[in-house]
Structure 1
């Protein structure tokens, strides 16, 4: 089945003033959709290669699957990780895990923000649970798929590709990151923690 662009869980202007309507609209309707389309195209090419038994382009196809598939997954989660009236310190189960693994919410926020600011080129910063290490980790992902850890399950992510913030914040990535903290949907993060703890 073809992948489809999911609807936003709120109106385009619902994240104002921290995330402007024009950027949200372009980011969701054009950039995110491009990754959905790219993933569908890559899966179609893979199906064709399987049908013909011709794998001459498999390296290219696998790269496209990784790039566009990861882009679609991360963007979908990015929208769900935010909500109008969000932000503030973490609460619930994730707050307890943050205190355990980073010492305090303030430590975590400083680490996460520094990591997001330092992403080289385009990418993401991710709070993830790594069940192999039995702890939370803060990771960078260049592009959508590089520098991640096998087994780590994303819980909270911020998009630091310039298309995510350039219209409002220009090249001021630090200002975008600071604004993003006002949008975090901790209910969604705790829902993801609960799913991890069930496994």
Structure 2
């Protein structure tokens, strides 16, 4: 599945290259490939490449959310062009259950004004019945801070909030994941 982010969180178009990502599958998990503009604003947050980083959303990131809307359980995965990530599971809107989940496979590369990333999200990290998805990108500092969305808000809101689950759209995990999402000790 190939998708791209082309609007701000309110739905208006932005004037830079699109943020592309694709979702595929393999035995160990969902493969996420990212191709995005590189703004280098804010600068590298520090921390170790390939390791979880708290409050990564305060920096330049691409985020994906996978939701089971019946239970309001979801997986949030944040990826930084500098190689850090933050993966968490939530039980209820804005209610983190587990933070700083490890990823064995996350690589990123910056080349000029763009960056690419590839990660494998283990099947056990996903809620049991993922049926909706949304994705976001954040970059910039101060007045230039930009919040962008795959599926933007369709009603007026004063501030961006990526946990407005009503704007998520239908998505189904690949069939290869069936049964494997039950092997999810992190949800117990």
Structure 2 length-normalised TM: 0.31
CA radius of gyration, larger in: 1
Specify which structure has the higher proportion of strand: 2
